[in-house]
Every structure is written in C-alpha cells, then in structure tokens.
Chain A
C-alpha cells in the first residue's frame, strides 16, 4: 500500500487543479497565485501525510536480545493485551488476522511475529518505536487507529525497547493478512494523517507530584500501554475517544464496556482494593465476574507483577471517585419470597417464576463468589442502562477457567426461548436493578443470540501469554 499512498492523494487533488486552471484566460496573475497556493497546499498535504520508509534489517537473532529485557517485554505485552487483537483462534501467537469491526468497516490486525516476509522480522527497533508512537508502518504507510497508538504514543523508550525484544523473540509465523474492508474515504490511508492531526496527542504522561508514585505508575500504564480508554471511553463520529467523556463507558464486540468514572452504574462503588482483587482474579464478590473482552484482559493480567496491577487499580479507583458515596448503601441479598411478591402482570410473574426456578438456587445461597452466585442486587450488568452484558451472560454462562478457582454459571441459550429470556431479564431489572425497564429488550435478545451463534464458530478462546520457551 505504501508507494500507492501519495499517488492516491495526487489523484484526489487533480480535478480541483483542472477546474481552477480553467480561469487562466481571465486573470493570469490571480490564476498564478491560485495555482501557487494549490501547489503549496498539495505540498503541505503531502508533507503532512507522507512518511519515509525505514530501511529493513536482517531479522535479529533471538539470542541477540537480553533475556531480562525479553522477560520485561513479556509482562508489558500482557498489560498491553496485545494477543487479544493479534492472535486469531487456531492461528499462531501474534500472527494477526483478527477482524476488528469498526463503524467504518473491518480492519484486520497485523502479523507482529518476527517473520521476515509477513511479520515485522525485518523491522529495526526504530521502525517499531515509530509505529508505536505515531502509527506509521516501517514502509511509511499510515496505520489505522484500531491499533491504539493514541495510547501507545505515551509508552517510554525503555518499555518500547522491551516490547520489541519480546516480539522479536517470538516464533515467526508466515501469515498474510486479508484486505481491510473499509468504505471510502476511510479506505484511503492518507486520510489517517488527517485523523492524527486531529486526535493524536503526544503530550506525554506528566508526573503529578501531589500523587503517590504508585498512582503515577498507574496513570502511565492506564493512559498508555493498558489503553483502558480504548474500550471504556465512548468514541465520537470519527472513531476517536471523546476527551470530555473519559471512562464514561464504551462498546466493544457486542459488549458494553462499563463506565469507570463517576457515572458508573455499579451498585457498590469500586475502591482500589476491590479493583485490585478483580483485576488479579477476574472476579470480585461485590461486583461479579469479568466476561467478554474483559476476560481476556484479566487472563493476560494474571502474568503481570502484583505492583503493576495494584498501580492500575489505585489510579482507576481515583478516576472512579474512589470514596464510597454515603447514599449508596450496601444492598442486602434478596430472597425468593421477596422476589415473587412485587410482581405485576403476567410477564413479571413468569419472570419471577423463572428466576426462582433457574437462578435463585445459586444466587441466593448466601455464599460469596466464587462458590455462590453474585448477589444480583450488586450486579452492574443488571443496573446498567445497556442490557447486552446481562443477556450475553445468561445466554452463554460463565465457563470454568482451567486451573483457576473462579465462578461458574451454566448458559441458558438452548433451554430458554426468547419470550422466557425477556420475561426473566425484565424481572431482574425491576427487582434487582430498581431501574426503568430496558426498551426493545426482545430485539436486543434476538441480536445477542445471533451474535452469539456467529461468535461460537469464530471467536478466539481465552488465551494466555505464551511463556518464553515457546
């Protein structure tokens, strides 16, 4: 794509020049000025969009990297959740090809193994750092911001160096990528340069002297490598994170990434200890279980040192307000008796009956996670204005994670029909969420069901970062 970029741009400017040169007979001086301005503009646009190629190198030998550096890079790659986007089910680790859906079409992730032909094997470190900082490929073409360089731009030189060492010592995988499926004009890579002018800010992560070293470490990780905002911050019409709505909740892969700021719908406020336990284990008795794309995140974090996970928790707790609000008291566990009493209407009665029969036997045992079900009065999924996460969990359940002590739940997609599902969800919302009913619930259930059926055949399973021996 690289050499074609500037050609594509010249074509788009061509017709404009022809139109203006049509005025030549009227005033040569004005025409001359217009042409000069246009040429200067084109040159400026060229300068703004064109990036030089960086010369290839022979793929560096894995043993040329310091093992300690590779090890650090491994933990960093886990924080960065690199494998979630760069490893497809059944494919080689980091060999890319994962379809990333966007409002503008589908972008396929790159092969970041050190394969010389299809990966980054011939990339010098300088090219890797430039890609992380500014979203430019080695050959000079602009990369789509589905690769979150708007976050990675904040990563330090030392950490980029360790990530490079880690990736260049992975198993090379020869895997070419499918063509991106994007609509015009987003399909034109020079357009990305415009996006970067608007949204790529490399102002760095400034140390806040009033905060602890742990908080500052957390800020560095969250804003940069961990790129939490990529999912948890809503995006604008051009696909950029809305700076005024940081951590206000976003969308990813048919899941809602919950708001993490003071607009959180968590019935109990998060604090640093709860966040730490949740990120460390993947569940918390007061908040529930990480599912969907967040399951990948906590799976990766399981190999990250405690102090970095703690730093992320401390910083994010501060972002969420951190201090328990006095008006949010701990909700008591419900009981079947209570659950059945306030029902009104036939649908509500059906929902209450299904709840009592299918859910209460685990969710009302009084046992905390992971041995009992989460107290549904504490469920963010039920309190959330977006019902998709709850629907996804009721449909698919919560799988046991190999080798870990964690919550489990059977899925009900094959035993509950849509009517039963809607009745149950409406009941849960009214009884435990104490919120207005979700609108278009039946449509959302149908969509979630079809998405679930599709993802069962394509979605990657839980993965962990491969160890250095692989």
Chain B
C-alpha cells in the first residue's frame, strides 16, 4: 500500500512499485484522461504533471512518486468549469480524434506555469515530444497562445474567467 497524491487528494493504492503511474491512474483511481499510446514514453499521450513538470506517466513507476503532487487533466477543470487551457483547446477546436489532446494540454499547462507568455518557437519546442497523427498542430499552437491570453486575465491555475471573450 502506498499513498499517491493526485489532484490534491491522497489515494491509498495497492500497486507494485514498478507499476506505471498511468495504470494506477486509469485502473485504480479511475482517472481516464491520460491515455495509453505507445507505452514507451515516445508519444506523449500519457503526459501528466508531477510537481509542476510534464511527465510521461507510462514510463514513470509509482515508486518514484512518494510525496510528490500528481495533476491530471481532471485536476485542472471540469466540463462545467473548464480551465483556461481546456477552454482554449475547445474554442480553437484543436482536437480531431482527440487521443493526444489530454497529453498536449498537460504539457502546455506545464509550460504556461513556468512561462506565461511563450513564443511560437518555445511552444513548438516544448510540445515536440507529443505526437498528433490527425494533424491539428496549427490549431494546437493557436490554442496554447489563446490559453496564455486567457490565463493572463484569469487565475493561471484553473478557474475560468467568463468575462473573457
């Protein structure tokens, strides 16, 4: 039994130390935003945030996470109250099949937390590990810029400011 801090809550998890974080999130805690893509840390669809940094949950064994804060997409906002990053992705219609998008949003969120006004080049460099096979890259870029603007006028962490057009 180990304690895993996810989205601000402690979860008692019965998992072997080498269990990938992704499996625990999806199978034990029933948080299904992070996706299984390649299982090799090569596609980014499993990206979550650990202590403010984007981490590939499919190659991160839970033994590394003692005392650390894990944030998944569910921890940013809800359907009713989407976070700026989620709202920006919706408004830009940045998803086609959507499989990569949770990972894209988490890595973009980690970038915006440490760099609230990234340049186009910085966004491209940051999102390089995350693959999208539908080809919505340009919309994703626009969505990250939009999220940066939204966060500029809203609370950067999660709360959406409805007054922003």
Contact = CB atoms under 8 A, between A and B. Distances in A.
Interface of A: 90, 353-354, 356-358, 360-361, 397, 400, 408, 410, 414-417, 420, 456
A420 B64 contact: yes
Given A357-B61, A410-B56, A397 B18 contact: no
Contacts of A354: 61, 63-64
B135 interface: no
Given A358-B18, A414-B54, 6 more contacts: A358-B59, A358-B61, A397-B41, A410-B42, A415-B50, A415-B53
Given A400-B42, A415-B55, A353 B50 contact: no
B54 A358 contact: no
A358 B65 CA distance: 12
Contacts of A357: 17-18, 61-64
A354 B125 CA distance: 29
Contacts of A420: 64
Q: Return the 4 tightest CB-CB contacts between A and B, nearest first.
A: A410-B41, A357-B61, A357-B18, A414-B53
Interface in B13-69: 17-18, 40-42, 50, 53-56, 59-65, 68
Contacts of B65: 415
A415 B17 contact: no
A356 B17 contact: yes
Interface in B95-126: 121, 125
A458 to B, nearest CB: 11
B40 A410 contact: yes
Nearest to B121: A90
Interface string B125-137: 1000000000000
Contacts of B55: 414-415
Contacts of A358: 18, 59-61, 63-64
Contacts of B62: 357
A408 B129 CA distance: 13
Contact of B50 (A400, A408, A414, A456): A414
Contacts of B54: 414
B10 to A, nearest CB: 19
A415 B64 contact: yes
Contacts of B61: 354, 357-358
> Which among A354, A408, A410, A456 has the greatest number of chain B C-beta atoms within 10 A?
A410
A416 B60 CA distance: 9
15 contacts: A354-B61, A356-B17, A357-B17, A357-B62, A358-B59, A408-B40, A410-B56, A410-B59, A414-B54, A414-B55, A415-B53, A415-B56, A415-B64, A416-B64, A420-B64
A408 B61 CA distance: 18
Contacts of B60: 358, 415
B40 to A, nearest CB: 7
A353 B53 contact: no
Contacts of A397: 41
Nearest to B50: A415
Contacts of B68: 417
Contacts of B18: 356-358, 360-361
A415 B110 CA distance: 14
A456 B128 CA distance: 12
Contacts of A410: 40-42, 56, 59
B86 to A, nearest CB: 22
